[in-house]
Amino acid sequence: MNTPIRKPAFHGTGGELFLIHLVNALLIVITLGIYWFWAKTKVRAYLYGQTEFDGDRFAYHGTGGELLRGWLKAVGLVFAVLVAGVLIQLLLGEIVGALFIYAALGFVVAPMAIVGARRYRLSRTSWRGVRFSFRASWKEFIPIFVLGVLLTVVTLGLYYPFFHVQVRRFLVDHSYFGNRPFSFDGDGRDIFGRHLLALLLFVPTLGFYWFWYTAFRNRYYWSHTSFGGARFDSTVTGGALLGLFLTNALLLLVTLGIAFPWVQVRTIRFHADRLVLAGPAELEEVRQEALAATATGEGLADLMDVDLVGADFFGL
Amino acid sequence: MTDTRRLLWNGWYYDGQTARRHSVEVEVGSTGLALTLEDGSMRRWMYHEFRQVQGSRPGEPVRLERGPDPPEILVVEDQSFLERLKENAPGAARSWVTPAERRKRQRWLLAAGLLGLGAVGAGYTWGIPILAARVAAKIPPEWEVRLGESLVESVTSQERICSDPELQQAVQGVVERMSREAGSRYSFQATVVDASMVNAFAAPGGFIVIYRGLLEITESPEELAGVLAHEMQHVIQQHGIRAILREVPLRLVVAAVVGDLGTAGQMLTTASSLGSLRYRRADEASADRAGVLMLQKAGIDPNGMLVFFRRLAQQERGLPEWVGYLSTHPPTRDRIRKLEALIAGVEKDWQPLLGGRDWDRLKRSCATLVTPEVS
Ligand SMILES: [Zn+2]
């Protein structure tokens, strides 16, 4: 076999992360919350710095100041939308104003948040000294997002797996490491059947089948993600995912949440241990090509509570 | 532990332009590092030119970066490289941290953190109450009146106010007699609410609210005066304002930490949520003590207060009407004993309140107002 296999490894420990969280919590209290942005940055720098891929660690270059500015801009934007909504309510009536607010937040600001947060995070991540980047604007994402949401609603959720795959494709295809793109060749039809099965089995299995569906989708997504001539592969199984979930839940339960850093570390290690990149990735040929990005999208994502943990670099 | 004679180390070099990984031999010199790449080319890194990015955590490779973004990177897996580096460049070494130094720092950090937590705790227990008292004294009385008004309004807007002029004047008269003696800066205003609940409370600025239910279980005007004196002292000693000043900043901090500023704003705007604020036990004791003194000064028999609280202690607690006053003013044994000690030995010519008018009739005059039935 001549195929090169590259693997990630996570070296972080719960104890170290706990100490970081502890100091952060204290500083957040003392600074009346302002430190939150720096705290978030410190946790991220630690997690990225402890993640190794093919013998080298990732580095995180974001700063708390950027996050604070991004958050302020995001607050300004959401505030502007609300003010405009109230004005429209006064001029054109309650229903038009409310519709405006829902449409603006759901169909413009939410896609902005998803794309913006990804742009910011990738642009602040490096490996072997070369930055990642995301090269698409939120404007290109809006039609995909709006159409996907509407079709999902109209088809009573049947369209959802197709929508999910499309979002995935948009996010992966525009992600770059240096001057080279990642690419995604998944198809919604491949997961549609399993999605239906998961819906049907949800009640009879008390929801537990969802772990197997999630693991399947995870494996499917990774095996359809490639970089250069190399392809990712994940060996996550439903049983293992369920085991992780149960042990994490128990840990949090018996420690009244204090075990959170350990849970974080276990979860990252779980996914890292099951991921490989196989094939000629031609990493030697990758050239630096950094891209500017602001943290406004990140701030929006925080405000709107868009969960992007899964879309971090393990979710590429 | 470090072999001080060792000068050569193996590592990896990245030029910041490509993702190519160069194996490199590093020589630790007197002014800097000499990097020899696999193709034989050399790089010279002066000690003041580069910075340490990683390598102080257990098992973490040493990572050095040089130049503006995107920097050149040197990674050496063996952490003892860092110690060797520090020995060789004492001037520039201050900013480099070895795992041993990091552990020491962490211990300091932990100690400082615990101390900090202690300081925050102490500040909350002692510092904030003192500060709250100082700030409360500086608040213009008109502000207190406005706050008190909105508070009373939010509580009594759902209730009927007792309109019997004789009762209203009698209660107000007792309040004013004590207020004159106390020489307080507030002009007190008593309101009787026509509801069967056993309750009484004071709002900042001089508002006293008495419920009909409480009025009806007093057996003499002196007993009522005892309750009123206690509530008036809460106002005079600004216990309510101080409780707000103590609690609100903390809740704001908690809200900010949780990231829920919406709730914080709501909390500040709705006066009724201030109802969840409690006086401290020390405030209650202080209101009892000063209340008794105020009664004595005004020539009112303080035994009324004692008798009333003794009766409360014997009451059935299960009745819903009783929850209000009993939950905020439990007539504990400790409280009654302290009152007895205060009153004991003080004999005086008490002037009976309301000149011997029929209290049984007066206290019920509110309930006799029959509401017109709409049928
Ligand atoms: Zn009281």
Residue type at A283 in one-letter notation? L
Nearest-CA distance A41 → chain B (Å): 15
Identify all chain B residues contacting A11, using CB atoms and an 8 Å cutoff. Answer: 59-60
Single out the residue in B64, B97, B130 at which a domain terminates.
B97
Q: For residue B59, give the CATH number of its domain.
A: 2.30.29.30
Report how far ligand 1's centroid is from the alpha carbon of B367 (Å): 26
Single out the residue in B44, B76, B97 at which a domain terminates.
B97
User: Does the CB of B106 have a partner CB in chain A at under 8 Å?
Assistant: yes
Residue positions counted in chain A: 316
The verdict on a CB contact (< 8 Å) between B17 and A288 is yes
* pLDDT above 90 as % of chain A: 35
pLDDT band at A282 (very low <50, low <70, confident <90, very high): confident
Asked if residue A142 lies in contact with residue A106, where contact means CB atoms within 8 angstroms, the answer is no
What pLDDT was estimated at residue A97? 86
Are B66 and B131 within one domain? no
The verdict on a CB contact (< 8 Å) between A11 and B60 is yes
DSSP tag of B161: B
H helix and E strand count, chain B: 14, 10
The verdict on a CB contact (< 8 Å) between B70 and A126 is yes
Report the residue from A29, A126, A131 with minimal CB separation from B253: A29
The verdict on a CB contact (< 8 Å) between A26 and B116 is yes
Mutation target for A interface from B21, B124, B251, B252: give the one with most A CBs within 10 A. B21
Are B166 and B88 within one domain? no
Q: For residues B193, B195, B197 and B198, what is the CA-based torsion angle, rounded to 10 degrees?
A: 40
Beta strand B50-54 with B32-37 is: unpaired
In a domain? residue A15: no
Identify all chain A residues contacting B60, using CB atoms and an 8 Å cutoff. Answer: 11, 49-50
In a domain? residue A256: yes
Report how far ligand 1's centroid is from the alpha carbon of B341 (Å): 19
Are B110 and B79 within one domain? no
Identify all chain B residues contacting A30, using CB atoms and an 8 Å cutoff. Answer: 116, 120
Which residue spans within B130-222 are E strands per DSSP? 189-193, 200-203, 207-211
In a domain? residue B91: yes
Are B62 and B143 within one domain? no
Asked if residue B193 lies in contact with residue B175, where contact means CB atoms within 8 angstroms, the answer is no
What are residue A70's DSSP bridge partners?
A: none
Query: Helices in chain A by DSSP H: which ranges?
Result: 14-30, 36-49, 64-92, 94-103, 110-123, 138-154, 160-173, 188-202, 209-223, 238-254, 260-272, 296-304
Identify all chain A residues contacting B70, using CB atoms and an 8 Å cutoff. Answer: 126, 129-131, 288, 290
CA distance B239 to B257: 28
Are B126 and B47 within one domain? no
CA distance A224 to A215: 14
Residues A288-314: tens digit of each pLDDT: 887 766 767 677 766 654 443 333 433
- The backbone torsions φ and ψ at residue A188, rounded to the nearest 5 degrees and listed phi first, read -55, -30
Tokens coding A21: 């969280």
In a domain? residue A120: yes
Are B143 and B266 within one domain? yes
CA distance B172 to B196: 20
Burial of B138 (0-12, 13-18, 19+ CB in 10 A): exposed
Nearest-CA distance B240 → chain A (Å): 24
Could you tell me which residue, A286 or B328, shows the higher pLDDT? A286
Which residue spans within chain B are E strands per DSSP? 8-14, 22-28, 32-37, 42-46, 50-54, 62-66, 72-76, 189-193, 200-203, 207-211
Are B114 and B196 within one domain? yes
* DSSP symbols for A263-296: HHHHHHHHHHTTEEEES---GGG-B-------SH
What pLDDT was estimated at residue B74? 94
Report how far ligand 1's centroid is from the alpha carbon of B281 (Å): 9
The verdict on a CB contact (< 8 Å) between A285 and B15 is no
What pLDDT was estimated at residue B267? 44
Domain that holds residue A230: 68-309
Single out the residue in B68, B97, B126 at which a domain terminates.
B97
Instruction: Please name the residues between 254 and 313 in chain B that touch chain A, using a CB distance below 8 Å.
Output: 256-257, 259
In a domain? residue A245: yes
Are B155 and B75 within one domain? no
The verdict on a CB contact (< 8 Å) between B120 and A130 is no
Residue pairs spanning A and B at CB distance below 8 A: 84
CA distance B349 to A149: 84
Report how far ligand 1's centroid is from the alpha carbon of B221 (Å): 19
Identify all chain A residues contacting B253, using CB atoms and an 8 Å cutoff. Answer: 29, 32-33
In a domain? residue A46: no
pLDDT under 50 in chain B at which residues? 1-2, 258-274, 368-375
The number of folded domains in chain A is: 1
In a domain? residue A29: no
In a domain? residue A224: yes
Domain that holds residue B122: 103-368
What pLDDT was estimated at residue B253? 57
Sign of CA dihedral B123, B127, B133, B137: negative
Mean pLDDT over the full length of chain A: 85
In a domain? residue B374: no
* DSSP symbols for A76-90: HHHHHHHHHHHHHHH
Are B188 and B269 within one domain? yes
In a domain? residue A26: no
Nearest-CA distance B123 → chain A (Å): 12
Are B184 and B78 within one domain? no
Are B360 and B223 within one domain? yes
In a domain? residue B213: yes
Asked if residue B56 lies in contact with residue B27, where contact means CB atoms within 8 angstroms, the answer is no
DSSP tag of B70: S
Identify all chain A residues contacting B21, using CB atoms and an 8 Å cutoff. Answer: 55-56, 128, 283
CA dist list (Å): B149 to A260, B134, B153, B180, B241:
46, 23, 6, 22, 13
Burial of B66 (0-12, 13-18, 19+ CB in 10 A): middle
The number of folded domains in chain B is: 2
The verdict on a CB contact (< 8 Å) between A19 and B117 is no
Nearest C-alpha neighbor of A8 from the set A284, A300, A289, A278: A278
Are B308 and B184 within one domain? yes
Question: Of A39-53, A175-189, B12-26, B150-164, which range is least confident?
Answer: B150-164
Nearest-CA distance B20 → chain A (Å): 5
In a domain? residue B192: yes
Sign of CA dihedral B81, B75, A263, A18: positive
Report how far ligand 1's centroid is from the alpha carbon of B231 (Å): 6
Nearest C-alpha neighbor of B29 from the set B45, B10, B50, B40: B45
User: Does the CB of B130 have a partner CB in chain A at under 8 Å?
Assistant: no
Nearest C-alpha neighbor of A55 from the set B166, B14, B83, B316: B14
What pLDDT was estimated at residue B268? 44
3-class SS at B243?
helix
3-class SS at B131?
helix
